[in-house]
């Protein structure tokens, strides 16, 4: 096996593939990255797999001799990232791989190709969506996913497909994020539900924006292992789906409110950051909404205290409510609107944060529900 390729092309492809490599592989070959140059064509295929997530990318190279090699993926990523901006020559001779670029030369041991597991095949194509839209929607929702591995169903994003409509939802029991969007399905009447690991989904969506569109492939377990696949810009990823029952989240979303406030988003975020500087760990940020004004407060008694007032509009009853400041910032950062709209029922019931819709009659396509913190006294 021997090929030549520009440093930037190789480094980018290796770095992307290395994302899927396990930190502590269960067997040594899973730390390897497969390099495959076939006889028919001029492309190098790079693959990584840990039995849960697979990643594969194809790039154009100048093939001197076809073949396969399996080398340490993380080491290859470190080396290619630090090479000078020149042509890279990669070759395999017996049990050693050599990589040279300019005056730099590296020799790497190879792993046994025959021991490497076969990557899963892509499930059947379900539809496609603009890569930028998909990445933005996933980032809005993944922020609310749980991190507690003892509750695996809460570490995922629920993907609901109903014809041209897709709904993404995640929750960690303290907040809930829901994003609705449209896509181009392969079949107009397609209906499917998948629970995708949130971290994998977020990393994948962010990494596939080099192509205009992302193709989504799905098998929901009727014919074996539940799996979802994503492909775009010469890159493809598959991941196993999570098991478990996702909470019936629609019942948590209120359909009527006693108060609706609107605040300039950027000013609100900056004020929350400032005031929460004095909030001790796990102590809430208090917010008081009244006509024309929002007052933020943190700290009590002999502790450090902060207060800041902001312009705000309020339609409905005055309300005093308290939030975890980190959860509040996550929601405000995700709404993608100059004006934040907060909808309340009471100070002990969940609040909904959305952007202000451009069309007053249209509903928000993104909703962030946040549980209030009970205030002392």
Q: Identify whether the C-beta of residue 32 lies closer than 8 Å to the C-beta of residue 111.
A: yes
Side-chain half-sphere CA neighbours of 202 within 13 A? 15
For each successive 10 residues of the chain (377 residues), what is the average pLDDT?
A: 95 94 90 89 91 93 94 96 96 95 96 94 94 96 92 94 97 96 95 95 92 90 74 94 91 92 97 92 90 93 90 96 96 95 95 87 87 80
Domains of the chain and CATH, by start: 2-115 (3.10.150.10), 125-250 (3.10.150.10), 253-370 (3.10.150.10)
The residues pairing with 321 across neighbouring beta strands, listed in sequence order, are 287
pLDDT at 223: 47
Order of strands across the sheet with 366-370? 191-197, 156-162, 165-171, 175-182, 366-370, 351-355, 339-344, 259-264, 313-316
Tokens of 193: 């539900």
Kindly report whether the global pTM for this prediction surpasses the value 0.85: yes
User: DSSP assignment of 229-265, as one string?
Assistant: EEEETTEEEEEEPPPSPPP-GGGGS-S--SEEEEEEH
Longest pairwise C-alpha distance within the chain: 77
pLDDT at 361: 67
DSSP state, residue 50: -
The number of beta carbons lying within 10 Å of the beta carbon of residue 132 is 14
Q: Per residue in 247-280, pLDDT tens?
A: 999 999 998 999 999 999 999 999 999 999 998 7
Spatial separation of the C-alpha atoms in residues 354 and 336, rounded to whole Å: 9
């Amino acid at each position: 096996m021997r090929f030549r390729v520009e440093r930037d092309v190789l480094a980018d492809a290796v770095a992307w593939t290395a994302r899927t490599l396990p930190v502590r592989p269960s067997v040594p070959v899973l730390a390897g990255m497969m390099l495959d140059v076939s006889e028919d064509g001029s492309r190098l295929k790079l693959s990584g797999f840990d039995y849960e997530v697979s990643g594969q990318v194809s790039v154009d190279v100048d093939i001197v001799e076809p073949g396969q090699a399996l080398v340490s993926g993380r080491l290859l990523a470190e080396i290619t990232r630090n090479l000078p901006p020149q042509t890279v020559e990669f070759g395999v001779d017996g049990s050693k791989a050599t990589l040279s670029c300019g005056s730099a030369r590296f020799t790497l041991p190879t792993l046994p190709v025959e021991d490497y597991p076969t990557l899963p095949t892509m499930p059947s194509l379900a539809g496609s969506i603009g890569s930028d839209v998909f990445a933005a929607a996933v980032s809005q929702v993944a922020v609310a996913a749980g991190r507690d591995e003892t509750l695996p169903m809460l570490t995922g994003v629920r993907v609901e497909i109903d014809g041209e409509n897709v709904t993404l939802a995640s929750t960690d029991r303290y907040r809930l994020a829901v994003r609705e969007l449209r896509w181009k399905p392969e079949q107009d009447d397609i209906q499917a539900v998948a629970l995708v690991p949130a971290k994998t989904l977020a990393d994948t969506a962010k990494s596939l924006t080099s192509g205009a569109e992302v193709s989504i492939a799905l098998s929901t377990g009727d014919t074996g292992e539940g799996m979802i696949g994503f492909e775009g810009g010469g890159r493809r990823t598959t991941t196993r789906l999570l098991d478990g029952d996702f909470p019936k989240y629609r019942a948590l979303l209120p359909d009527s409110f006693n108060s609706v406030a609107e605040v300039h988003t950027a000013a609100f975020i900056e004020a929350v950051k400032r005031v929460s500087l004095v909030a001790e760990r796990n102590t809430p940020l208090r917010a008081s909404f009244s006509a024309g004004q929002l007052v933020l407060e943190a700290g009590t008694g002999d502790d450090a205290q902060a207060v800041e007032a902001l312009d705000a509009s309020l339609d409905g009853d005055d309300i005093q409510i308290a939030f975890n400041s980190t959860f509040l910032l996550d929601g405000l950062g995700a709404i993608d609107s100059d004006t934040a709209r907060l909808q309340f029922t009471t100070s002990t019931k969940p609040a909904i944060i959305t952007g202000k819709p451009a069309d007053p009659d249209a509903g928000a396509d993104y909703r962030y529900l946040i549980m209030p913190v009970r205030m002392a006294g």
